Chain A
C-alpha cells in the first residue's frame, strides 16, 4: 500500500530507496521518526523555552533570572525536570483518576504531533503530507479536550472555570486562524507545507506576507489568533492567576504539570513555525536562492543554512510571544470574544475576498512581481 498519507515517514522511505534501509518495515521508521521528533525537537525545545522565557522575563523586568545551574543557568530546565519527575504523583481525592491521567497526555500528543508536517529545511521533513496545513490544524485540536478533561478531573471550581474558558476560546479562535490560512491556500494552490514554502523563493513570489496587502493583514490575524489558541498572554484567561489561582492546571503537580507546561511551549513553537512556513518563507533565505547561487554549495551546508534560517525566523516569533507576555495586560472574557467574532472573523473574511480579487486582477503575481513588471516594461516577467 502506498503511504500517500505520509503519517508514516514518507520522506524517510524515499530517501532510503535502494539501500538496505528499504527492507526495514515502515512502522519501525514511523516509530523512529516519532521518537526523533519527541526527543530531539519537542522536548529540548520545550525545556529550553522555559529557561529562555524566564531569562527574557528577567531581562524585561530588570532582574537576573536563573543563573546558578551551569553557565548562565542554562541547565535550569534539566534541574526543573528532575525535580518534577521526582515529586509525588498526586491525584486530588475527589478527582477522576483516569481522566486526570490521560488529560496532560492528550495535550502533549496534540502539540508534538504537529511537528510531523513542519519542514525544517527543503528536504528535512518527517512527512510532507499533502494536506499538511490542514493536518496541523486538525491534530492540534486534541489539545482542547485535554485541557477541558484535566480541569474537570481536578474536582476544583477554579480548574473547571479555566478549562471551560480555554475550550470556548480555542473553539472560537480556530475560526479566524483557519480563515487566515485560506489566502495562502488561494495563492499557492496547495495544502502541502513543503510546496507552499517552495513557492516563496526570491525568484518566485517572495514571502507570502508581502504577496498583497490582504495577506499582510492576515499574517497578523494568524499570529494573534495563534496566541489565543495557545493560551498565551494577552489571552491566558484559562490560567488567569489573579482570578483562578492557576486555572485549569491548579491541581496538577509534578510531571503532570510539567507535561502541561511542555505541551504549551511545544504548541507555541508549532504555531510560530506554522506562521513562519506560511507567511515568512519557511527555510527560504531572503533575496537569495542557494540552488541558483553562482557557486555550487555542498547539499549538507545548504540544508544547514536552510534549517538555521527556519529556526531563526521561528525563534524570532517565539521571542515576540514571550515579549508580549510582559507588555500587554490580560483581556476580559467579553473583550476576548468580541475581538474574535466582531474583529478578526470579519477582517479575515475580507482578506479572503481581497486575495481572491487580487489573484484574479494580477494573474496571481505578488506585489513585488507587479512592481518589477512595471520597470521591465510590460507584462509579468514570471
Chain B
C-alpha cells in the first residue's frame, strides 16, 4: 500500500469513528442521523480497501440511499422525536450501555486477532491477486451454488415483508 493510500484509509477511518462518536453523543437527533450517513460512507471506503467493491456499493445503496433516508423521514414526520434530547432519555441507560460495550470488546479482540493471523499466513502475492479479482461474479456463483438455500430463504422473507407492507398500507374496509 502506498503512502497516499494509507492517508486515504486513515481519513476514512477517522470519518467513520468520528461520525459514529457524534451519532452517539450529539443531543440533536437529526444531527445523529446526518452523521450516521457519513459513518456509512466511511465504512464503504473501508470495504473498498478490503477489496470488497460490490459490498461497498451495496453499503452505499442500502444504508445511505435507503436506511438513512428512512431515518430522516421518521425524524421529520415525528414532532416529539425531533425535540428529543439526550438528557430526556435519562441516565438509566448509561450503565447498561457501557457494560454492553465493554462486554463486546473480548469478542471483537478475538475476531480481529484471528483475522490478523489469517492475513499474515496468506502469501502476499496471493492476497494481491485476490484483491484485484472481480468479486461480483464470485458472489453470484456462491449465492447460486453453496448458499442457494439461505438465498432462497431470504427472498421468501423479503417477499413476505413486501406483502405485509402492502397489507398494512391497504385502506381499512
A-side residues, CB < 8 A to B, are 1-2, 4-5, 7-8, 25-28, 96, 98-99, 102, 129-131, 134-135, 137-139, 141-142, 144-145, 148-149, 152, 160, 164, 167-168, 171, 174, 191
Contact = CB atoms under 8 A, between A and B. Distances in A.
A131 B136 contact: yes
B69 A144 contact: yes
B145 interface: no
Contacts of A138: 56-58, 60-61, 64-65
Interface in B135-160: 136
B72 A149 contact: yes
Nearest to A7: B48
Given A4-B132, A27-B5, A141-B60, A134 B54 contact: yes
Given A4-B51, A4-B133, A5-B48, A152 B65 contact: no
B40 to A, nearest CB: 10
A2 B73 CA distance: 39
Interface string B46-89: 00110101101110110011101100110011000000000000
Contact of B136 (A1, A130, A142, A144): A130
Contacts of B2: 1, 25-26
A2 B128 contact: yes
21 contacts: A1-B2, A4-B132, A7-B48, A27-B4, A27-B8, A28-B4, A96-B30, A129-B53, A130-B134, A131-B54, A134-B54, A134-B57, A137-B57, A137-B61, A141-B66, A144-B69, A145-B68, A148-B76, A152-B76, A164-B76, A191-B136
B102 interface: no
B20 interface: no
Interface in B1-46: 1-5, 7-8, 30-31, 34, 37, 41
Interface in B118-137: 128, 131-134, 136
Nearest to A192: B134
Given A4-B131, A139-B60, A145 B53 contact: no
B160 to A, nearest CB: 17
Given A131-B136, A145-B34, A148-B76, 10 more contacts: A26-B2, A26-B4, A27-B4, A102-B34, A131-B54, A138-B58, A144-B65, A145-B72, A148-B72, A167-B73
Contact of B76 (A7, A160, A171): A160
Shortest beta-carbon contacts, A-B, top 8: A141-B65, A27-B4, A138-B60, A2-B132, A1-B1, A4-B132, A134-B57, A25-B4
B164 to A, nearest CB: 15
A334 to B, nearest CB: 13
Contacts of A160: 76
Given A131-B57, A145-B68, A5 B51 contact: yes
B53 A4 contact: yes
Q: Which of A98, A139, A164 has the most CB of B within 10 A?
A: A139
B56 A5 contact: yes
A142 B53 CA distance: 18
B3 to A, nearest CB: 7
Contacts of B57: 131, 134-135, 137-138
A229 to B, nearest CB: 11
B109 to A, nearest CB: 25
B88 to A, nearest CB: 20
Contacts of A141: 60-61, 64-66
A164 B77 CA distance: 9
A98 B73 CA distance: 19
